[in-house]
């Protein structure tokens, strides 16, 4: 009688082999989908030019210029060691600003051209739809532009922590801003990175000051149809439905607004919404709140600012804190591609709160 492995042992070995094969395939897919640092794509671009594969339809002078730009401002740039999927629009803007400070403004349009070529090469490494590119809507900074009106400050500039602290001190002590709710709205925008429509549609039932950490839950906003304003569970995108942890300053704003709602004679809208209309206590009017906010910012010496300015400030703060790109996108409700990648936001509230609390300078 010939002895050998049992049927169960054979099945177990087969399962182990299948599991090993699946794990190997998963590793290979992950390696293929993980794109390389910017410098790696710059080197591939240079190799392509040298081999006569890339830019061969260009003139010799153009190829020489592109090669010089790729080598000097991509291969040897501060961004060269960063994986291309981790590079953000803010980092690209900072690099363009750095070139301007070094009196290399004329090189920036060529650098932008080379970046686009490198991202095209990187997109070829992705079998499916490539991730969103930080080059989308990236514009050349206008720090070197000469304005006919020297008082004009372009809205794409970056603000220092000191500038923001001074602005908020002015805004929070402005009686008119306090009266029309714009001071508290601005502070909440600065502390959360919300869109103005999300703030205007915030209801008290969406505010939780007792959890750890406290949070707001964005579930809908005000929509106007047939001249009537009403709250509906509709936001900009699926990813816009999210929870945002609250800093101490954000909690103070909400507690202050809540104390106003506790006064005798509060309207139904004031009992329902955080930012009911200031004078009449009606359903919030996002357009009126936006106008009040712009007027307050102009009075404070920043007519170039808008509600979206604070969203950019928060995005930069989160980025500089080291919060991962996916955490930032989940917190800001930016791109549907995050949802398509089935990214889990577990743990985001605490990490995000730590990031939001950085660089506050007492605001």
- In the three-class reduction of DSSP (H, G, I as helix; E, B as strand; rest coil), residue 232 is classed as strand
Residue 26 lies in a domain: no
pLDDT reported for residue 351: 57
**Same domain as 115, residue 47:** yes
**Same domain as 325, residue 255:** yes
Residue 145 lies in a domain: no
Q: Which of 245, 192, 193, 187 is nearest to 363 (CA)?
A: 187
**Same domain as 99, residue 237:** no
Q: How many CA atoms lie within 13 A of 145 on its CB side?
A: 14
Residue 318 lies in a domain: yes
**Same domain as 315, residue 197:** yes
Are 302 and 182 contacting, i.e. CB atoms less than 8 angstroms apart? no
**Same domain as 116, residue 165:** no
* Domain limit, last residue, from 61, 93, 123: 123
Residue 363 lies in a domain: no
**Same domain as 337, residue 188:** yes
Q: How many CA atoms lie within 13 A of 89 on its CB side?
A: 18
**Same domain as 336, residue 215:** yes
| Distance (Å, whole) CA 70 – CA 45 | 8
**Same domain as 333, residue 223:** yes
Contacts 24+ apart (CB under 8 A), 230-233: 230/283, 231/201, 231/203, 231/272, 231/273, 231/283
Contacts of 232 (CB under 8 A, 6+ apart): 220, 221, 222, 223
* Domain limit, last residue, from 77, 98, 123: 123
Residue 5 lies in a domain: no
User: How many domains does one find in the chain?
Assistant: 2
**Same domain as 82, residue 195:** no
**Same domain as 260, residue 340:** yes
pLDDT reported for residue 184: 94
**Same domain as 280, residue 175:** yes
CATH at residue 223:
1.10.443.10
Cβ atoms within 10 A of the Cβ of 190, count?
26
Q: Tell me the pTM.
A: 0.58
Q: What angle do CA 204, 208, 212 make, to 5 degrees?
A: 170
Residue 97 structural domain: 38-123
Residue 148 lies in a domain: no
Residue 179 lies in a domain: yes
Report mean pLDDT in 10-residue bins for the chain, 363 residues: 62 75 61 76 93 86 90 91 86 88 87 92 81 82 52 58 90 91 94 92 92 90 86 84 91 90 82 84 88 92 89 84 78 58 43 60 45
pLDDT reported for residue 114: 93
**Same domain as 169, residue 78:** no
Residue 128 lies in a domain: no
* Domain limit, last residue, from 75, 94, 123: 123
């Amino acid at each position: 009688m010939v002895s050998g492995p049992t049927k169960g042992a054979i099945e177990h070995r087969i399962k182990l082999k299948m599991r090993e094969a699946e794990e190997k395939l998963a590793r290979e897919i992950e390696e293929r989908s993980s794109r390389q640092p910017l410098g790696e794509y710059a080197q591939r671009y240079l190799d392509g030019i040298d081999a006569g594969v890339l830019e061969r339809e260009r003139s010799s002078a153009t190829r020489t210029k592109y090669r010089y730009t790729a080598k000097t401002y991509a291969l040897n740039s501060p961004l060269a060691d960063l994986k291309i999927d981790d590079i953000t629009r803010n980092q690209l803007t900072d690099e363009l600003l750095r070139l301007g400070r070094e009196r290399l403004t004329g090189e920036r349009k060529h650098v932008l051209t080379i970046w686009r070529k490198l991202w095209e090469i990187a997109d070829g490494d992705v079998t499916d739809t490539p991730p969103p590119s930080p080059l989308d809507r990236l514009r050349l900074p206008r720090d070197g532009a000469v304005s006919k009106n020297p008082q004009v400050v372009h809205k794409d500039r970056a603000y220092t922590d000191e500038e923001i602290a001074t602005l908020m001190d002015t805004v929070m002590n402005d009686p008119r801003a306090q009266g029309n709710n714009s001071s508290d709205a601005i502070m909440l925008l600065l502390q959360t990175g919300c869109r103005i429509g999300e703030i205007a549609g915030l209801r008290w039932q969406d505010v939780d000051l007792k959890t750890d950490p406290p949070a707001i839950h964005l579930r809908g906003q005000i929509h106007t149809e047939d001249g009537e304003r009403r709250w509906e569970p509709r936001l900009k995108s699926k990813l816009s439905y999210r929870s945002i942890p609250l800093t101490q300053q954000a909690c103070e704003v909400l507690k202050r607004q809540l104390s106003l709602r506790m006064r005798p004679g509060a309207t139904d809208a004031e009992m329902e919404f955080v930012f009911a209309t200031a004078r009449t206590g009606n359903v919030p009017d996002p357009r009126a709140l936006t106008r009040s906010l712009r007027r307050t910012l102009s009075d404070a010496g920043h007519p170039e600012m808008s509600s979206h300015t604070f969203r950019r400030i928060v995005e930069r703060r989160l980025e500089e804190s080291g919060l991962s790109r996916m955490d930032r996108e989940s917190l800001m409700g930016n791109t549907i591609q995050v949802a398509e990648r089935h990214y889990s936001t577990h743990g985001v509230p605490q990490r995000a709160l730590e990031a939001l609390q950085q660089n506050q300078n007492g605001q």
